[in-house]
A and B are shown apart, each in its own frame.
Chain A
Amino acid sequence: MKLDCALRVSHPGFTLEIEETLYLTGISAVMGASGSGKSTLLRALAGLETPQRAHVTLNDWPLHDSVAGLCLPPHRRGIGYVFQDARLFGHRRVLGNLNFARQRARPANGGAPALDAVIAALDLSSLLERRTQGLSGGERQRVAIARALLANPRLLLLDEPLSALDLGRKTELLPYIRALPGRFGIPLIYVSHAVEEVAQLADEVLILDAGRVTARGEVHEVLERPEAEAVSGHFEAGVLLDARVRRQVPEFDLTELDLAGQHLTLPRVEAPPGTPLRLRVRARDVALALARVEGVSIRNQLQARVLRIDAEPEGAYAEVLLDLPGAEPGRAHLRARITREAAANLELAVGQPVWALVKSVSFDRRDLGSPERNQG
């Protein structure tokens, strides 16, 4: 699905100016700090806000063309929207909310989501007769997502749907969202300011800053960039790695993973062997050594090669970009944050083989995500 989007929205305080063509297949994320224009962009796409200037087409079908004086109202765009505050209809029960969407669904050119499929996908069968006022935050958002799906949109926009939820609920909901494009064939645009959510869900990400796109590309790659650091706050610069579960080590409650031919262990992950996992490793959790170290508590030691050393402009630190042999070039990087003094002392140079020590403890459980949800 091709989304051509050229917009200019002026608010008191900032102006959103975008000119992008997006190829939407799975989940595309829009990230940015509060006030960067993410919600404005989404609302403009849905037709809930009127840009000063706009040219938006979806698969070359015009949604908004200010030159031609065409602006489709929201109810005619076929674009679904999940709000941050769910916005369920209080005068209807859960099933009533779902039926509201079904009764107004876009005519299905094959493949409209079936009610049973949606209820199953979002685990709503026990909630159908409940009043919306009595639902928990996570339940409300599940209903909101289900309702949006049942309207049979061509594209589904989600505006920070998890930001009002606590950690437990977020973790609970992420797999549901992750599964949507595969299960229902509808691409998602997901807006968030939380790196953890984007890291686990998205295939592609746009970074917005003060109303402008500052970075765009595959999730792996963009989250490693300095621009992502600005959005996710300091000390969060890191990398994403794709590994696979190799085996469980029950005596120590550990799981062994295979990463580009090397092994990693981390605290027990409930997943069968072969399950792909996406890991996030912060630069500050990686130390470097010239040789494999014995007699140390850090169990995860990976062979790596120095690609680049970037001294930070102020202060004592430098960031070393490494790559892992055995992985496709550019597909598995590591970053290590060490002092400049250490770099000098170890005489680190580009191309030099080193050992990267990754503290087991620093595999933060919430950084664990899976590219595909387990079926069954």
Chain B
Amino acid sequence: MPYLIHVAIQLLLYVGLAYALDLVLGTTGILNVCHAGFYGIGAYTAAVLCQTYHSPLWFEFAIAGLVAAIAAVLISLPSMRLHDDFFVLASFALQVILSQLMLNWKSVTNGALGISGIPAPILWRHNVLGKTDLLLLTLAIVGCIVWSVRNLQSSPFGRALCAIRADEILAQALGKPTVKYKMAAFVISGSLASAVGVLYAHYMTFIDPSSFDANVSITFITLVILGGAGSRWGPALGAALVVLLPEGLRFIDIPNSVGPNVKQIIFSVCLLLVLIFRPQGLAGHHEFGRFTTE
């Protein structure tokens, strides 16, 4: 049972992250390589706030979201105006900067050793103890995230984002402030990812920089595209694949030392195959990253 709860929480966290990323990658069609960075901002903010100041959960969400939003604005201000390739590089740069800060800002993040012993989250003066309660809490928060992303996608704002994905110049010609919209999508996505990071820190009670580096960002991109970028159930399906496949691999005899590498190889091959032969993803309807006449 504890094992099932563990898998369930992991799955929920990934689903939340996938939908947050899908707002940028699937709906708007921009490649964002620092999703794990935002996720890390959330986790580290929660860890520091909770350990040092015993702050309540809502306060951690607020501060984590704010920090992530500031980072997102800083990075998108210079790069969103430019061609999308620049934005990819800028987001890559932000990912490296954040990873290096986690490694080197030792007084706050404790460097490569990471922060351990993160206390349980405080909800209305009560500690949320026990894995089942944490599962319910995660379910509620991730449910909110998925619900709000789905709602955003079908709102006028979301339709404008879809228009940007299909043809940015056309969207501009229709009077949509495309740069502002792209920035808004990016900032919202970053804040949501940081909220998931808060949950992750409280659940794992231990965080270190390796959980938030560029490889993790690439995994998130992989899972969204595998499932189907910009589709209703695609991100959830992708998250399920990425969480459940390693659990499945556990039953096959693969030495622990090479397990992550085998996983990465399988994912990269799957990603390439999906990009070439099924660009709409496993559950998707629109072809990701193709010149289409939507």
- Do A and B assemble together? no
Contacts from B to A (Cβ < 8 Å): none
